[in-house]
Amino acid sequence: MIQFVIKINKWIFKTIFFVLFAALFSITLLSCSDKSKKAKDYLKIAESDYLAGDYESAKSNIDSIKLLYPKAFKEIREGFDLMQDVRKAENKRNIIFIDSMIDANIIKLKELQRNFDFVRDENYQEFGNYIPKITPSLKTLEQNTLRSGVSEKGILFLESVLSGRNLNHNKIKVSIPDGSYAESLTVTADGLNYKFTTLKKTYEIVRFIGNDENGLSEFIYTFKDIPITLTYIGKKNYTKTLSKIEKDAISQSFELSNILYEIEELKYEKGKTEALLRYLDQRTLQQAQETRS
């Protein structure tokens, strides 16, 4: 009788075990099935975003599959393939946008270039300079002035010209009535800071370019409609008021420099985008070859 009871208990235990195991297995299957369905839902949403041109949302939904359902391997692989398509489409769109920006800036550049003479000595200069027409270089030597120009690559420079005074100046400052000002750095390099004497006069010319210019042209461009005082700083100081022509010329140079820089930056961004697109195309081709083999 005891053995019979024991046998019944074992049978009951095995039955309960198998029932529980079957239940857990079913729950696991349902859970996996549910997770797979949700992963597929994310993939479908990503595909819809891609077709609608909402590439950021598409990428976000593809990334969500990997984060939320790391074992949904099929959907993750399909998401990876879709991500390649999304990135290619996004880069193609970016190239179209950059091209439109370049075209718009070139139109503006041509308008600005009308205000400049392009000067280049083929024997000594690899690149030429744009000089504002309203301040021809030869005439500026006969007066104390601040002239400007822009290199072919978009680099703006200012030149302080001092005629008939011996200051040995090496920096300048521009200021407005409320006390606001911008001041150059000190220039001592040969070729950028030079002095010469003729039978009639002594001339000092200092070129401020790059960091040495230190925001002078932007200051003048910003406050061109109010009086601006120019101070030559050397062993003595000398001040004068910038004329409307001087302020206009420097403002024109500032605008031209900015537009040339912007075009160069856009071309650089386009080059990077095209390189990335070529990489994605090559990767897609390699994957297709691996799949066939």
214 with 239, same domain: the answer is: yes
Residue 90 lies in a domain: yes
Give the percent of the chain with pLDDT over 90. 60
Residue that wins the pLDDT comparison between 200 and 133: 133
Residue 280 lies in a domain: no
pLDDT digits (tens, 9 = 90+) for 97-137: 999 999 999 999 999 999 999 998 877 778 899 999 998 66
Residue 273 lies in a domain: no
The rounded Cα 238 to chain-centroid distance in angstroms is 40
- Give the separation between CA 290 and CA 81, rounded to whole angstroms: 14
101 with 236, same domain: the answer is: no
Q: What is the pTM of this model?
A: 0.77
pLDDT in the model for residue 30? 39
123 with 56, same domain: the answer is: no
151 with 125, same domain: the answer is: yes
Average pLDDT over every residue of 152-160: 95
Residue 45 lies in a domain: yes
* Torsions phi, psi for 202 (to 5 deg): -105, 135
pLDDT in the model for residue 139? 62
CA distance from start to end of the chain: 69
Query: Looking at the chain, how many residues does it have?
Result: 293
Q: Say which range, 21-25, 86-90, 249-253, has the weakest mean pLDDT.
A: 21-25
121 with 259, same domain: the answer is: yes
127 with 253, same domain: the answer is: yes
255 with 159, same domain: the answer is: yes
Residue 286 lies in a domain: no
- Give the separation between CA 240 and CA 92, rounded to whole angstroms: 54
Q: Which residues face 117 on adjacent strands?
A: 131
pLDDT digits (tens, 9 = 90+) for 19-49: 444 444 444 433 445 566 788 888 899 999 9
Residue 293 pLDDT > 80 = no
104 with 120, same domain: the answer is: no
Q: In degrees, to the nearest 5, what angle opens at C-alpha 265 toward C-alphas 209 and 146?
A: 25
DSSP label of 200: S
pLDDT in the model for residue 22? 41
The number of folded domains in the chain is 2
Taking CA atoms, 268 is separated from 99, 106, 258, in Å, by 12, 15, 15
pLDDT in the model for residue 168? 92
Q: How confident is the model at residue 213 (pLDDT cuts 50, 70, 90)?
A: very high
Residue 211 lies in a domain: yes
125 with 259, same domain: the answer is: yes
- Give the separation between CA 213 and CA 186, rounded to whole angstroms: 9
160 with 188, same domain: the answer is: yes
Average pLDDT score, the chain: 86
Residue 278 lies in a domain: no
CATH of the domain at 241: 2.60.40
Contact of 216 with 208, CB cutoff 8 Å: yes
Helix (H, G, I), strand (E, B) or coil at 116: strand
104 with 123, same domain: the answer is: no
**Beta-strand pair 202-209/229-233:** unpaired
Among residues 59, 74, 108, the one where a domain terminates is: 108
Domain assignment of residue 155, given as a range = 116-263
Among residues 108, 141, 171, the one where a domain terminates is: 108
- Give the separation between CA 126 and CA 129, rounded to whole angstroms: 10
Residue 220 pLDDT > 70 = yes
Among residues 85, 108, 131, the one where a domain terminates is: 108
pLDDT digits (tens, 9 = 90+) for 48-62: 999 999 999 999 999
pLDDT in the model for residue 289? 76
Give the percent of the chain with pLDDT over 70. 85
Q: In degrees, to the nearest 5, what angle opens at C-alpha 109 toward C-alphas 192 and 140?
A: 35
99 with 130, same domain: the answer is: no
E-strand ranges in 120-255 read 129-132, 145-151, 156-163, 171-175, 181-183, 193-197, 202-209, 229-233, 237-241
CB atoms within 10 A of CB 203: 17
Residue 77 lies in a domain: yes
